[in-house]
Structure 1
Amino acid sequence: MKEIDIILKNIKNKELLPVYFFQGDEAFYIDLAVKHFEQDVLEEDEIAFNQTVAYGRDTNYLEVLSLARQYPMMGDKQLIIVKEAQDMKLNEEESKALETYLENPVPSTILVFAHKHKKLDARKKVAKTLAKSGMLFTSEKMKDYQLPTWIQGEMSVMGIKSAPNISHLLAEYLGNDLSRIANELNKLKIVLKDGAVLDGKIIEEHVGISKDFNIFELQKALATKDQAKAFSIAYYMGKNKKSNPIQMAFGALYNFFSNIIIYHTLNGQSPQTIATTMGVNPYAIKDYSEAARFYPLKHATRVISILREMDLKSKGLGVRQMEDEEIYKEMVYKIIKVDELKVSV
């Protein structure tokens, strides 16, 4: 069970620690935990008297800890939540004050810090004290290869049935912003009728991602040098640049061809070893194995140079500013014909 699942279960069962310090780059789980603290810790008639929400930009550790030492009114517990805690300064005085409180926290206070997008310095005593006490919770950014599985899991929890590869399509286009993904899934849940299957047509209509013309499909077409399909997709994406940002395409293709290079350099190793090195699920290795047949190591390396060249052109560096449509077209041509071109590497 994930750490966040344990925390949410403990909140529901009122098995609470005196202090929770959430930190890390992935805000989604921090926000989720805070939401459950706000909704599930106190009874509705206790919230007005015993629940305080502060923001880091408006307070400091000394003020928060002073409040934490007070006792609840008309109840057994008080809840203090500090949102955007990363905006509070944690100098030597504040660190010592927090360390002192952690050594003897007030049992009737539940103190929650939402310290998003940053981490405490693990070398500092206050971080060590929090960790040793089991009060420090780190929310790491999800790896790209984990996104489709996570999306599929979220859809299952929400009761959304989907066509094959929908989770991969959403992962490619929405990136690893879990909050954004969750919002899109909630919107899709609303528009889906009972028993309806989430397919490419619905995705295209409500999220703006074409089921046939997207970076996921372009990548597959390039992987097998399907020239007609690749140019067709590139043309569409260039014409619809709002829903197909070219920088996103560069990033996805750079990762894909970088992994082809890794595949070549690890040729002969077990699929599990290759997958771990790439940071992808083992099931994807067969796709890279097929792509590697079309792109030997030398050619895959040249594609990386092509992508860098296209990136510079998209920014107007060294050449006239080119439209996305032109760049998509040139990029696909050079990648498909990489074995015929001379590209400096």
Structure 2
Amino acid sequence: MAKNTGPSFNELATQFRHENFDPLYFFFGEEGFLMDELQELLIEHALPPEQRDFNFDLIYGSEAEASQVVNICQGYPVMAERRVVVVREFEQLENNRMFKSYATQPNPQAVVLLLCTTKPNLSAHPYRALKQNATWSHFKALYDNQIPGWIKSHVEGRGLRIDGRAVQMLAEYVGTDLQTAVSEIDKLETFIGERDEITTDDVLRASGQTREFNVFELQSAIGEGRHADAMRIADRLLQQANNPRGEAIMIVAILNSYVDKLWKLQPADVQRKSNRQLAGVIGVSSYFVSEYVQSAKRYTRGRLAQAYQALVAADYELKGGSQRGPMLILTLLLRQLMPNRQAAR
């Protein structure tokens, strides 16, 4: 295969939906959600429900031994076109080196999917043999700047539309956790009912926030040095929350992502890029880049380093490292996040 990572998720999903199966698949990497999705697609399209009792095996490597698993893979289907075998935690399968031989002669009447939760040593067997003979793919964890595009594509795959600001808000909420992203999209799809577009207001209302009082207005107030406004927004967010401490933890996570973007905009060579290029650097729509650029100009790298330290300390306190209440912790944090001391007065 020409690609260093193997076929993409979309390519494999399309093949499975068209019932175009190879006898042996080998998936590995940190992005378990995508591998889980492909596992479900494979089972759904390779075997009708009525054939699964006798022709489907789900095995966990930590609970099995390779000779037994190979025997299962080599078995014939019972009154079906094929059998399906999924081996999760393949890297933990005792004596999995036995799959070196199976990889060269897989059972043509079976579809076997081997899943590793990390990237194994591909130069050692059985992984070397699997990479040479199986259909393989490396599912890397997505970077922050890839999440907005993934969210937009996933929403559109459901036949829905989503505006740019809503995409950015969701991306900030979920970080790089695709399972959380899908859960939030599920909620929003239910929230909008018969409508076919997810808007900024939908994201805010579904999360219990408003146009005036939300974490994105909070980060704008911080970036512009509007300390009083930042305090007012933070106070309202905690008042509205069912779980103020949990809300404060979420706020800190989003502000950490915000500071991270400002940090990425600091180098001189980055500042010379176009807005479109900067959008790729920090993972936002080019429509919103100017706001981040203007805020980044108000900070020095030293000030941002202090902001990182303050965020780590606040996260620690909110997660049990202090007896202080969440509003007091945020009050102290917001003063430390201001772009300069004069603006914090």
Q: Tell me the TM-score range normalised by the shorter chain.
A: 0.7 to 0.9
In the superposition, the TM-score normalised over structure 1's length comes to: 0.82
Which aligned pairs between 1:1-345 and structure 2 lie closer than 5 A?
Answer: 3-82=8-87, 85-86=88-89, 89-91=92-94, 93-95=95-97, 97-115=98-116, 117-195=117-195, 197-208=197-208, 210-239=210-239, 240=241, 242=243, 245-267=247-269, 269-271=272-274, 275=278, 278-281=281-284, 283=286, 285-311=289-315, 313-314=317-318, 321-336=323-338, 338-340=340-342
Provide structure 2 residue ranges, at least 5 long, that are not aligned to the other structure: 1-5
State the SS of the aligned residue for 2:115: strand
Letter in 2 for 1:280: G
Across the aligned residues of Structure 1 and Structure 2, the Cα RMSD in angstroms comes to 3.2
**Residues 314 and 38 of structure 1, relative CA distance in 2, 3 Å threshold:** closer
State the SS of the aligned residue for 2:78: coil
Assess if the C-alpha contact under 8 Å between 1:272 and 1:282 holds in 2.
no
Deviation for aligned residue 1:72: 1.7
Provide structure 1 residue ranges, at least 5 long, that are not aligned to the other structure: none
Deviations 1:92-148 (A, max 9, x none): x321x1101111111111111233x32322332222222222422222212122222
Deviation for aligned residue 1:57: 4.2
Assess if the C-alpha contact under 8 Å between 2:9 and 2:34 holds in 1.
yes
Deviation for aligned residue 1:196: 5.6
Q: Give me the whole-angstrom Cα distance separating, in 2, the residues matched to 1:57 and 1:127.
A: 17
Assess if the C-alpha contact under 8 Å between 2:215 and 2:251 holds in 1.
yes
Deviations 1:272-327 (A, max 9, x none): 8974995535725433320123223443344334334544554676xx62111112
Letter in 1 for 2:293: S
Q: Give me the whole-angstrom Cα distance separating, in 2, the residues matched to 1:230 and 1:193.
A: 33
Letter in 2 for 1:78: R
Q: Give me the whole-angstrom Cα distance separating, in 2, the residues matched to 1:225 and 1:162.
A: 31
**Residues 130 and 336 of structure 1, relative CA distance in 2, 3 Å threshold:** same
**Residues 30 and 237 of structure 1, relative CA distance in 2, 3 Å threshold:** same
Which deviates more from structure 2 when the two are superposed, residues 268-277 or residues 40-49?
268-277
Deviation for aligned residue 1:220: 1.8
